[in-house]
Copies of this chain bind each other. A is one copy, B any other.
Amino acid sequence: MADTLSAKARDLITRPVLASLTTLGRDGAPQVTPLWIDLDGDDLVFNTAKGRVKERHMARDPRVAVSVVDPEDPYNVVALRGTVTDITPDGADAHIDALAKKYLGVDSYPMRTEGEVRVKVRVRTDHIAMQG
């Protein structure tokens, strides 16, 4: 069951504003990471590298929470619960470059690590608690 982002929430996520992504550890404890975010249709998309803590968390338990706070307007926030529906290397290199363009204004992600495998993470929005 998906919930639908408002136009204002979509606008916020489309801007280069950091999201906070919460994943669950093996013991169920929440762990939060500031992360680049983008929209793909109605889904949220993130990009990380295979084997990172948050990637392992999401591969084991797909339940996540996401918040985005407008740096120019603290009343303009998005807070939601979601489910990871896909973690894939397909298209992930082009995707991290697109995020680097959005957030850094550069054509190629400058922080690649030797041997890392980028993955694109797709999140379905299950329940929106707050949005502008």
Which one, B20, B30, B64, B74, contacts A63 given CB within 8 A? Answer: B30
Is A69 in contact with B130, judged by CB distance below 8 angstroms?
no
A66 cross-chain contacts in B, Cβ below 8 A: 32
**A71 at interface, CB cutoff 8 A:** yes
| A–B pairs, 15, beta carbons within 8 Å | A17-B74, A18-B69, A18-B77, A20-B32, A24-B28, A28-B28, A29-B63, A29-B81, A30-B30, A30-B63, A30-B65, A32-B67, A32-B80, A33-B79, A34-B79
Q: List chain A positions with a Cβ less than 8 A from chain B.
A: 17-18, 20, 22-24, 28-34, 63-67, 69, 71-72, 74, 77, 79-81, 103, 129-130
